[in-house]
Amino acid sequence: MESATATTAPGIPLRDLTQEQFEAAYQTDRFTATVLSNRLRYTVQHVATGLLYRAFSPIIALAMDFAGAICAPPEQGYSMVSVTNGLTVFLGTLQDGVRVAVEEYGIDRLVPGDLLICNDTSRMGNHPNDVCFIRPIFHEGRIVSFMALRAHLIDVGGITPGGFDANKRNTYENGLQISPRLLFHAEEPVRETFSLIFDNSRFGEIQLPDYATIKGCCRLGEDLVLESIEQYGIEAYLGTLRYACDATAERMATAFEELPDADYEGESLIDADGVDADEEYRLKVKLRKRGPRVEVDLSGSSRQARTAINGGALDAKTSIGVGLKEMLDPHGEFTSGVFRNIDLVIPPGTIASALPPDGPVFFYFEVGSALVAAMIDALSGALGEKAFAGDCGCHNVHNAYGVLPDGTPWACSSVAGAETGPVGANAAADGEGHLCPYTINIISPAAELLEAAYPLMIMRKEYTRDSSGPGTNRGGAAILKDIMWTGPAQHTTAPLRFRRPSGVGVQGGGDGGQGGIWIFDVEGRDLSRQSAFVPVDDSVYPSATAVAGMLDPQSNVLDPDGEFAYSASQDWRTDANATWRYVTNAGGGYGSPLDRDPEAVKRDVRDGYVSIEGAARDFGVVVVGDPEADPEGLTVDREATARERGR
C-alpha cells in the first residue's frame, strides 16, 4: 500500500482549500503544483521516448514493453508520482519494488551517478525479464527522488531462450534472479554485475547497448527533474510530489463513495497450468465496500500452479488497482494514490501470490487479466452504465527460437503470437477490435518489422465474422492471425483462457466467441507445390495439429460445445514454412442486442464483422443484399426486422 498519507485536513476536498491552506499543505501555490505535476509527466514520457527509439531489444523497440516512473524520496514512502503511458502491469510494483531494492541495498550507500538494478520476482514483482533500473536523484547532498525504468530484457537465462515458457517448474528454471546491486557506480560500470548478467544470459550483443541506453535515459530523467527544482525550488517540488498522490487518492475515494456499500463477489478461471488439462485455476475476488474504502480479498483463489503461470502478490496489487481505476475513475492520473483507500487480503501461496522456489512467476500478466475479469464479474451489476464487457482474456504469447543457416542464434519472444486482441463494449461504444487485454498496454508490432527481424512471415491478420459478443453495442471481433515460420524453429505458447468465454457480456449483452490455436504443416510446407496461404474454410482443420481451444473432435474446428484441446505443455519443433494459426477470444457485448440500431447492424454486415445470417440470429435484423458483390447496396428490411425482433 501507499506509505505516504494525505497531507490535507480530512474531509476537505482539494478544490475547496483556500490559497493559504493549499500553500501550508504543499509549500507552493495551486498553479505551480499543477505546472510541476505536468512537468513530471513530461519528464517520464521524454525518458520513455528516448528508450523506445534507441532500444535494440525487439520487445522494447517494437512492442513498448517498458515503463518509466518518478518515485518520491524515502520520507514520502517512495510513492510513485508520475508514470509513462507504458505497460500497466508495472504500475503497482514500481513503488514497492523501488523501496525494497533501495532499502535492501542500503540508501546510505548510494551516491550520485549510481544505477541500482534488480529483477527478483519476490522482491520486485513481475517476471525475471522485467528488470528494474533505479537512479537516485540528489539535490544538495540529499535524495529527493528516484528515476526508475522497468524494461523487458530479451533474455535472462533459464531453460528457454526468451523465457516465455509455461512449462518451467521452479524459480531456478525461470532465469537469473538479480538481487539489488549496482550496475553503475558514480557513472562507471560495475564489471562484477555485468559479468554476472552476461555469464547467465543469451544475446549479450543486443542487451549490452540497451543497458547503456537505459543508463542514459535515467540520467536524462534526473537532469529534467533537477531543472524543475532549479526553476521552482525544492520545497515546491517536494510539495508537488505529495499533491500528485493526494489528488489521485481523492479521486479514487470519491469514486468509491459513489459505489453502494455492499459485499461483491466474482471469479474467473484459468484453463490449466501447462502440466495437463485436468486442473483449472480459480481467481476468486470479494470486494467489501464501505464508504470511501474498499477491501479486496482473494481468499478462496486456487493454490499456486505447478508451472510458471503464477503471479506474485505485488502483481495482484497492480491488477486490483488498475482494474478499479479503469472501472471507477478511468480519466485521472495513475499514481500511488490509487492504492491509498484500498485494503488487500492476499493469502500466500495462491496462483496470485505464489511463493518460491516451487511457485515460479512468469505469466503473471495472465493472472492479472483473470483478476480484472473477476472484478468485472463482481461489479458489473453495481456499476450500471459504467460497466464494460470482458476482453480477449489472454495474450497467447508465442516464444520461438532457433539458429539461422549462418549459425546465428535467434529468439522471438511475445511479439509473433496473438498478444493483442479485442476488448468489450461499454455504454458509449462498440468494443475495439485490436487492442490488448485490460491489464496491459503492449502494442502490436508492424508485420514488416517482424519479418525483417525474424525468419517468419505474417500471412494473415483479420477479423472473424460473427465472433463479437452481440449487444446494443457489440464487442470487438476476434482476430485470426497466421504466422508462417520460414525456417526450422522451436516454439512454446501459453493459451490459458479458451475453455470458457473471457469476453463476458454485461447489461444483457452476449458473450464473445472463444478462440483456439492450430499448427499447419508441422513437418514443413513445400511452397513450390503449395500456396503459402493456408485457407480459412473448415476443410483445412482436420489435418491441422490442435494446440488449444474448444474444438469439435471430428472436424477440429471451433465448437463451444466441443472438447477442450490442450497441448501447450509441450515444446513444438516445426520445419520450414509451418504455419501457426491463432484465433483470439472476442469481446463481450453491452446491452440487449435487440436494441442495437439496425443501421449499425447493416454496417457491420457491410464491413465483414457480421454475416447476414448472424444479423438475423444475434440481433433480429434482416439485412437484404450481397455484402461481397455489392456491399454498399445492402438494405434493412424494416418490416421483417420488426417481426424478427418481436419473435
215: how many CB neighbours lie within 10 A of its CB? 20
| Residues 380-408: tens digit of each pLDDT | 999 999 999 999 999 999 999 999 999 99
Could you tell me if residue 292 is inside a domain?
Answer: no
Where a domain ends, among 188, 219, 246?
A: 246
Alpha helices in 264-363, H assignment, sequence order: 313-328
600/606 Cα distance (integer angstroms): 10
Q: Are residues 454 and 583 in the same domain?
A: yes
Q: Are residues 573 and 613 in the same domain?
A: no
Q: Are residues 510 and 574 in the same domain?
A: yes
Checking if the pLDDT of 569 tops 70, the result is: no
Checking if the pLDDT of 114 tops 90, the result is: yes
87/383 Cα distance (integer angstroms): 26
Q: Are residues 538 and 637 in the same domain?
A: no
Could you tell me if residue 639 is inside a domain?
Answer: yes
pLDDT on residue 443:
85
Could you tell me if residue 331 is inside a domain?
Answer: no
The pLDDT of 127-145, averaged and rounded, is 97
pLDDT on residue 570:
74
Distances (CA, A) of 536 to 251, 464, 518, 581, 582: 48, 10, 12, 10, 12
Q: Are residues 631 and 512 in the same domain?
A: no
Asked if the bond preceding 357 is cis, omega within 30° of 0, the reply is yes
What domain count does the chain have?
A: 3
Q: Are residues 102 and 168 in the same domain?
A: yes
527: how many CB neighbours lie within 10 A of its CB? 12
429: how many CB neighbours lie within 10 A of its CB? 11
Asked if the bond preceding 560 is cis, omega within 30° of 0, the reply is no
Range of the domain at 632: 597-646
Could you tell me if residue 397 is inside a domain?
Answer: yes
Q: For the CA atoms of the chain, what is the radius of gyration?
A: 25
Q: Are residues 604 and 564 in the same domain?
A: no
Could you tell me if residue 505 is inside a domain?
Answer: yes
pLDDT on residue 8:
55
The C-alpha cell of 410 is what?
535467434
577/420 Cα distance (integer angstroms): 23
Could you tell me if residue 308 is inside a domain?
Answer: no
Could you tell me if residue 118 is inside a domain?
Answer: yes
107: how many CB neighbours lie within 10 A of its CB? 13
pLDDT on residue 3:
44
Q: Are residues 202 and 222 in the same domain?
A: yes
217/134 Cα distance (integer angstroms): 11
Q: Contact 477/436 with Cβ under 8 angstroms?
A: no
User: By C-alpha distance, which of 229, 198, 247, 188 is closest to 39?
Assistant: 229
Could you tell me if residue 45 is inside a domain?
Answer: yes
pLDDT band at 1 (very low <50, low <70, confident <90, very high): very low
Q: Contact 372/439 with Cβ under 8 angstroms?
A: yes
pLDDT on residue 274:
77
Checking if the pLDDT of 21 tops 50, the result is: yes
Alpha helices in 166-264, H assignment, sequence order: 171-174, 191-198, 204-232, 234-258
pLDDT on residue 472:
98
Residue 84: helix, strand or coil by DSSP? coil
Where a domain ends, among 554, 578, 593?
A: 593
Q: Are residues 526 and 635 in the same domain?
A: no
Q: Are residues 579 and 627 in the same domain?
A: no
| Residues 37-72: tens digit of each pLDDT | 999 999 999 999 999 999 998 899 988 999 999 999
Checking if the pLDDT of 536 tops 60, the result is: yes
Pairing state between β 142-152 and 130-139: antiparallel
Q: Are residues 204 and 66 in the same domain?
A: yes
Residue 280: helix, strand or coil by DSSP? coil
pLDDT on residue 10:
57
Q: Are residues 507 and 637 in the same domain?
A: no
- The contacts of residue 530 (CB under 8 Å, 6+ apart) are none
Where a domain ends, among 246, 268, 295?
A: 246
The C-alpha cell of 620 is what?
433480429
502/497 Cα distance (integer angstroms): 7
